[in-house]
Structure 1
Amino acid sequence: MNVVQAEPIRSRNARGEGNRLRDEIVAAATSLLQSVPAQAVTLRAVARAAGIAAPSIYRHFADLDAIFRAVVDLAFDELEVVLRAAPAGQRPVDRLRTVCAAYLSFAREHPQRYRVMFGVDWNASGTMAPSAEELDARAMIGQDALAVLIAAITECVEAGESSSVDPSADAIALWVGLHGLSTLRQTAPSFPWPSELEGALVTSLTRLTGAAAQ
């Protein structure tokens, strides 16, 4: 006798709580990405994880790409929180290094989500030409997290620990370096990465000087 597995049953939202379902869909997709790659995430899988019927998703999201875009927004918000929560030390350079370590830890602990954040394994541009408003919104993605890096470098400059004359530009370079390192570590985990590489990367890209460079 074949047994048909029923879709999970979810209680109906009360009036005025429609946004709760949207948040639950995003949370379900985020949870799936903790255990499977983006290619394995489908609308049906998201619906099952959220405890709803697949057609209910279309009330909030046009397609899977739209869900991923919401997952990306949430992931960058969480990254900002993680960076801001990085502990400060006795000197600004200590804060800078813990922020960078927090970034790399986030990428290591959430590898699938991290790949999705940067448009890997899904259609980051969407299936249709985005509106001007959406393009503006996408341009702001990650800016709050970047601001944490800018502030950390600026504090080092003010303390005489960095020779940077443009903390914003150097923060972008630092992000590029951290992203490259975290991505390469994911794709080539067996490579003999030097233990001091992270420290050397931060020192060079943020122009640390004197004792701060040690």
Structure 2
Amino acid sequence: MVDQKAQLVDAGIRILERDGLAALSARKLAAETGSSTMAVYTHFGGMTGVIDAIAQTAFARFTEALTEVPRTDDPVADFIVIGIRYREFALAHPQRYQMMFGTSAESLNRHHADVTTTGTASSRGEFAMSFGALRDVVARMIEAGRIRDDGVPVVAGRLWSIAHGAVLLEMAGFFGHADHGLTQILAPAIFDTLVGMGDERERIERSVQAALASAGLG
């Protein structure tokens, strides 16, 4: 038996990526799945529930992308791999990324949390898992003495801000389409930030090489 609820979520993701968040509606979902608008309300209670369900799926896949590479004994290398996977996911799924971390999805805004005081990015555990992956590797960098301890959530928030800003600008086309967003903007910004927080350039270079090899880019 076909799971109609899962069908509607998959259809919502297709509409989101094809037409954008503003195009999501009960009528479009019904047309995409060959069902009725009533199915949306039966399974989700309305479009807010649909968007939450799409976000749950998106965050699960995003978290998987950030954590699928095995942990090594070099936390800076592991952090760089997470950054590479973060950018890859965002560029491959721009509409999903903007729904997750943009400002337009009001149904998600109600779950947002202040990372500087709570240590998490969301009041919903499944939404917060991706920030948890970043927070954990930041804690390891601090414990290893690679960067100074300004508080794990705060440092994670700073590094996330750099990645998020660079990725959004790259998605908008400001850095071209030849990986300049990574090689000339994001990577140097992260490199300089790590140096500013106490790491040594030579050690970071070694971590970069290890990360590129781990990510299959070396």
TM-score of the superposed pair, with normalisation by structure 2? 0.73
Q: Deviation of residue 94 (structure 1)?
A: 1.1
Aligned with 1:52: secondary structure? coil
Which residue among 200, 207, 213 is the counterpart of 2:188?
Answer: 200
Match of 2:124 in 1: 140
In 1, Cα distance between equivalents of 2:198 and 2:30: 49
Unaligned runs of 5+ in 1: 1-10, 14-19
Q: Deviation of residue 101 (structure 1)?
A: 0.9
- The Cα offsets for residues 145-202 of structure 1, whole Å up to 9 and x where unpaired, read as 1111111122222333222342221111111221111111122345675723222332
Q: Does residue 54 in structure 1 map to residue 37 in structure 2?
A: yes
Retained in 2: the 8 A contact 1:65–1:122? no
Aligned CA-pair RMSD = 2.9
Q: Deviation of residue 64 (structure 1)?
A: 2.1
Retained in 1: the 8 A contact 2:167–2:181? no
Q: Does residue 172 in structure 1 map to residue 188 in structure 2?
A: no
In 2, Cα distance between equivalents of 1:47 and 1:60: 12
In 2, Cα distance between equivalents of 1:72 and 1:118: 10
Judged with a 3 Å threshold, the aligned counterparts in structure 2 of structure 1 residues 205 and 66 are, in CA distance, closer, same or farther, namely: farther
Retained in 2: the 8 A contact 1:100–1:178? yes
TM-score of the superposed pair, with normalisation by structure 1? 0.75
Q: Does residue 153 in structure 1 map to residue 144 in structure 2?
A: no
- The Cα offsets for residues 29-61 of structure 1, whole Å up to 9 and x where unpaired, read as 012222221222322221222332222211022
Retained in 1: the 8 A contact 2:8–2:40? yes
Match of 2:24 in 1: 41
Retained in 1: the 8 A contact 2:169–2:175? no
Q: Which has the larger radius of gyration?
A: 1
In 1, Cα distance between equivalents of 2:175 and 2:82: 25
- The Cα offsets for residues 61-106 of structure 1, whole Å up to 9 and x where unpaired, read as 2322321122112211221111111355562211110001111111
In 2, Cα distance between equivalents of 1:149 and 1:138: 14
In 2, Cα distance between equivalents of 1:197 and 1:156: 22
Judged with a 3 Å threshold, the aligned counterparts in structure 2 of structure 1 residues 67 and 105 are, in CA distance, closer, same or farther, namely: same
In 2, Cα distance between equivalents of 1:74 and 1:181: 24
How many residues end up aligned between the 2 structures? 191
More helix by share: 2
Match of 2:80 in 1: 97
- The Cα offsets for residues 102-124 of structure 1, whole Å up to 9 and x where unpaired, read as 11111111001111113544433
Aligned with 2:203: secondary structure? helix
Match of 1:8 in 2: none
Unaligned runs of 5+ in 2: 114-120, 206-218
Judged with a 3 Å threshold, the aligned counterparts in structure 2 of structure 1 residues 147 and 125 are, in CA distance, closer, same or farther, namely: closer
